[in-house]
C-alpha cells in the first residue's frame, strides 16, 4: 500500500531531509586525497548526534546480508555501486569517485539522499558519468507530478542514461519513504512492465536514486554480503533525493 502524507507529515520529512542535505554538503567539502571513508563516517555520526536525530542506516537489518548494517553512511568507491562500508583502510586518492549515501529519522519520519563526489578533477569519461547520472535524477524529479504515473519517473532516468551510452543497475531501486525508510512503491530506474504503474497523487513521497554504470549493468555482491560492485570493474555513480507530490509540483525534501 502506498501511504500518502499530510502537509504536517511532509514538514517533518522536510526537517529530516534538510539535515541529510547539510550532512552531505559538509562531507562533500571534506572529500580530498588522504581522507578515509572512516573519517567521513565519524563526521556524519557526530552531525546526526548533535542534531538530536537517529541514523536511518545503522542497525538496519537486511535479510540478504543476514545482519544489521553497522554504519551511518554507505561509502561506495569507484566500481562499488551501493552499500560500501566505511573503513580506515579505504583512503581516498586522486581520480577516485565516492558515493556518500545516508539517512536520518527525526520525530518518526525519514530523510534519505546520496551524492557522488570526485576526488580531484575527474577525467572526461567520469565527469560525463557524474553529469548524466545527476541530470537523469533531475529529469525524474520533474515527472513527480499529480496525475503522472510511476513509469513517467522511471522512464525519464532510463531514456537519458541510455541515450548517453551508460547502463542502468537493475538489482537496486528507489523506494517510497515516510515513517519507514523503505515503503511502497519500488522506484526502478527503468520501466519495468512486470511491476505496477500507479498514478501519482498528492502526498506520495518517492526516494529516487539513479545508479548508473560506465560499463555494463551487471553487478555482484562482495564477500562482506553488503557491498555491490560492477562485474566488469567499471565506475558507478549514484545520486538520490526524496521528492513529494504536491499541488504545486515536485517538492524536493532533501535540498533547500
pLDDT for res 31: 98
Mean pLDDT for the stretch of residues 84-111: 98
pLDDT for res 126: 98
pLDDT confidence tier of residue 113, bands split at 50, 70 and 90: very high
Residue 2 lies in a domain: no
Residue 30 lies in a domain: yes
Yes or no: say if 241 and 254 are a contact pair by the CB < 8 Å rule: yes
pLDDT for res 101: 98
pLDDT for res 28: 98
pLDDT for res 121: 95
CATH code of 214's domain? 3.90.230.10
Looking at every residue in the chain, the average pLDDT score rounds to 98
Residue 1 lies in a domain: no
Counting the structural domains of the chain, the total is 1
Mean pLDDT for the stretch of residues 166-191: 98
pLDDT for res 152: 98
> Angle CA(56)–CA(60)–CA(61) in degrees, nearest 5?
165
Please give the residue range of the domain that contains residue 139.
Answer: 7-252
Yes or no: say if 45 and 37 are a contact pair by the CB < 8 Å rule: no
- pLDDT tens digits for range 63-97: 999 999 999 999 999 999 999 999 999 999 999 99
| Cα–Cα nearest to 58, from 43, 41, 79 | 41
- pLDDT tens digits for range 121-162: 999 999 999 999 999 999 999 999 999 999 999 999 999 999
Residue 247 lies in a domain: yes
Yes or no: say if 154 and 192 are a contact pair by the CB < 8 Å rule: yes
Amino acid at each position: 500500500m502506498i501511504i500518502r502524507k499530510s502537509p504536517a507529515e511532509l514538514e517533518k520529512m522536510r526537517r529530516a531531509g534538510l539535515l541529510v542535505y547539510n550532512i552531505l554538503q559538509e562531507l562533500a567539502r571534506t572529500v580530498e586525497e588522504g581522507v578515509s571513508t572512516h573519517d567521513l563516517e565519524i563526521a556524519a555520526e557526530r552531525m546526526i548526534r548533535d542534531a538530536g536525530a537517529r541514523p536511518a542506516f545503522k542497525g538496519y537489518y537486511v535479510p540478504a546480508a543476514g545482519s544489521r548494517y553497522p554504519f551511518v553512511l554507505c561509502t561506495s568507491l569507484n566500481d562499488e555501486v551501493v552499500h560500501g562500508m566505511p573503513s580506515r583502510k579505504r583512503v581516498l586518492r586522486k581520480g577516485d569517485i565516492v558515493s556518500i549515501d545516508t539517512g536520518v529519522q527525526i520525530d518518526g519520519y525519514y530523510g534519505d539522499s546520496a551524492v557522488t563526489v570526485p576526488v580531484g578533477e575527474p577525467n572526461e569519461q567520469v565527469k560525463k558519468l557524474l553529469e548524466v547520472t545527476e541530470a537523469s535524477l533531475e529529469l525524474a524529479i520533474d515527472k513527480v507530478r499529480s496525475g503522472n504515473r510511476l513509469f513517467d519517473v522511471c522512464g525519464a532516468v532510463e531514456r537519458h542514461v541510455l541515450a548517453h551510452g551508460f547502463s542502468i543497475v537493475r538489482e537496486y531501486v528507489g523506494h517510497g519513504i515516510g515513517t519507514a525508510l523503505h515503503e511502497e512503491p519500488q522506484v526502478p530506474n527503468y520501466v519495468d512492465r512486470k511491476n505496477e504503474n500507479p498514478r501519482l497523487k498528492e502526498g506520495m513521497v518517492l526516494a529516487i536514486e539513479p545508479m548508473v554504470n560506465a560499463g555494463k549493468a551487471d553487478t555482484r555482491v562482495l564477500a562482506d554480503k553488503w557491498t555491490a560492485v560492477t562485474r566488469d570493474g567499471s565506475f558507478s555513480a549514484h545520486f538520490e533525493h526524496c521528492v513529494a507530490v504536491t499541488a504545486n509540483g515536485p517538492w524536493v525534501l532533501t535540498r533547500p
